[in-house]
Chains A and B, each alone.
Chain A
Amino acid sequence: MVMEGKDGTIESSSASAPTKKKSKKPKYSRFTQQELPACKPILTPGWVITAFILVGIVFIPIGLVSLFASEQVVEVVDRYDEDCVPSTFSNKTEYIINSKTNKTCIRILTVPKKMISPIYIYYQLDNFYQNHRRYVKSRSDKQLRSKQYEKEIKDCQPEDETEHKFTIIPCGLIAWSLFNDTYGFSLKNETLRVNKKGIAWKSDQEEKFGSDVYPKNFQMDGWIGGKKLNESIPLSKQYDLIVWMRTAALPTFRKLYGKIEVDLEANQNITVEIQNNYNTYQFGGKKKLVLSTTSWIGGKNDFLGIAYLTVGGLCLFLAISFIILYVVKPRPLGDPSFLSWNRNPVGHLN
């Protein structure tokens, strides 16, 4: 049989020399042809409304629970830096720098509601940028961890060596500016014991601050920035230092000072004897003393509860508006008369 056209030529060529034509077509696989099994979700009205209702239903109870927990927390905040400077001193900075002035200050705090132990004592500093880059860098973790690295002080300048070239331990600005106000609490003339154990994170105590490192040459000369340390206690037990060295994230922060382990009844008056040593006057900072209980969620913060309620309410509102929209303006989905160029006589896509 005579074949026409291409077929004919192929016939004759195959008759003369059986050559196998190697196909360059790649091997078929679902991966390369992009035909993998997939789900193709689209945002139908049902899904949208369901999603919003779900979020609303989950968020509102969480918000209520958080708000309830936060309301349970009792907090007493007392700003004392303005009032603790005697009125005879008009220049507060000079008063605080002068080591001869009497820094004792007595404050009375009233307990608003019953506070169940443990009651946490914090000092709050405002406008203190512990998160400034050069401040955060100014420490030597190696030196803090172990005695053999006590000479590793290169990041600590200028608080790395004394005038006479003795190494400062712990070096750096963070340690140098250690907060040094002290608080003594008494109730009806009985001293309340302040427990300092357990105020620092365990990982700090055990791993980051060595038990063989002792303070040396600390706050010796030049400017004194803060507290002096007892040279016979190793760093792993210097709890105030450990708490202070965990730099805070924002310029207003609190740090744990200690715990009171007795209950306090409502309307009791706690007498606080403050040694007002720390100089925040030079840079316009504020100092506050805070007594607070905690709940499972932490300290007193209404924000999380209120925010949950707000977003939950917003989602329910959006769900209801979508329902109304879909009910009031129903249209069959996929109706091409709603294509944008059909609505617009000029006929451009979008």
Chain B
Amino acid sequence: GFTVFLYEANASFSGQPAYNDWFLSLYNVFFTSLPVIAMGVFDQDVSARFCLKFPLLYQEGVQNVLFRWRRIFGWMFNGVCQAIIIFFFCTKAVEPQAFNNDGKVAGLDIFGATMYTCVVWAVNCQMALAISYFTLIQHLFIWGGIALWYLFLLAYGAMPPSISTTAYKVFVESLAPSPSFWLVTLFVVISALVPYFSYSAIRMRFFPMYHNMIQWIRHEGHCDDPEYCNMVRQRSIRSTTVGFTARSMARNNCLEDGIYDHR
């Protein structure tokens, strides 16, 4: 969405959108909504079994770790950065010289379709990077969303120009045959994701959150070792055994103590 705003700066803020009207309308409906729903329904950062083993995971909810304003703003900032990257790279790469070896130049429709393709790819791949539990349905929604966009371009473009106006045959005639389009898409998508990927890698390795720790433990294979798990649990609550924090945590975590008793 931010790319539309950036484009306005280049259209003297006259309100001319960068994309065809139908592209805009269907953005949230088809091309990006299904992966988000799939992520909300199916994603599990730690599977149910481990949630029971490490009850301190509840503290992530109690202490509002995952929905802090700082985190929300972080995601928004990530979105803005990606939009800026997408917009400026598309603009620089496409204008003003010829677009393909036939000498033709890229107009508003070609530029809009290229940028929209990059946005759809970037959003869906970002989702793929953020999900940690890939079921078949997730794969279907993410890659299916991208494929749906190309199919839509083909279908919409094939409709007579009275309906498809500026998108008429834009994919078949202008975009697909020109290698410039594919190269720009590949480049812009990967550049837009590199910042988040680096941040995620650094965070996972050097500043992991509690559920990341559990994922490492599972990955390392220590999860079946009851002594190791016990040690993790004991050390987790060690620093909160005295004082106000301990009392408040004990008040909230009576369930955890109950589980310990049963074991």
Residues of A within 8 A of B252 (CB): none
Could you tell me the distance between the alpha carbons of A5 and B105 in the complex, rounded to whole angstroms? Answer: 87
Is A90 close to B, CB under 8 A?
A: no
Would you call A342 and B239 a contact (CB within 8 A)? yes
Which of A42, A131, A256 interacts with B10 by CB under 8 Å? A131
Of residues 122 through 138 on chain B, the ones whose CB sits less than 8 Å from some CB of chain A are 132-138
B131-172 CB mask vs A (1 if < 8 Å, else 0) is: 011111110000000000000000000001110010011000
Q: How far in angstroms is the closest Cβ of chain A from B110? A: 8
Check A337 for interface membership: any CB of B closer than 8 A: yes
Which residues of the partner chain B approach A131 to less than 8 Å between Cβ atoms?
Answer: 10-11, 14, 16, 108
Question: Is B187 part of the contact surface with A, judged by Cβ < 8 Å?
Answer: yes
Q: How far is the CB of A87 from chain B (nearest CB, A)?
A: 30
Residue B183 CB within 8 A of the other chain: yes
Q: How many residues of A contact B (CB 8 A)?
A: 88
A51 within 8 A of B: yes
Do the beta carbons of B194 and A253 come within 8 Å of each other?
no
* B107 contacts A37, C-beta separation under 8 Å: no
Given A45, A66, A132, A340, which contacts B183 in the complex, CB threshold below 8 Å?
Answer: A66
Q: Are B180 and A298 in contact (CB under 8 A)?
A: yes
Q: Return chain B residues, CB-CB under 8 Å to A303.
A: 92-93
| A292 at interface, CB cutoff 8 A | yes
Choose among A122, A132, A199, A332 the residue that contacts B14 (Cβ–Cβ < 8 A). A132
How close is B134's CB to chain A, nearest CB, in angstroms?
A: 5
- B183/A249 in contact, CB under 8 A: no
Measured CB to CB, the residues of A under 8 A from B are 34-45, 48, 51, 55, 59, 62, 66, 75, 118, 120, 122, 124, 129-134, 136, 141-142, 145, 198-199, 201-203, 207-208, 246-256, 259, 292, 294-301, 303-304, 307-308, 311, 314-315, 318, 322, 326, 332-334, 336-342, 344-350
Q: List 17 A-B contacts (CB under 8 A).
A: A38-B134, A43-B201, A44-B219, A122-B105, A133-B15, A201-B173, A246-B108, A249-B10, A249-B107, A250-B111, A252-B96, A297-B179, A304-B184, A334-B220, A336-B213, A336-B231, A338-B208
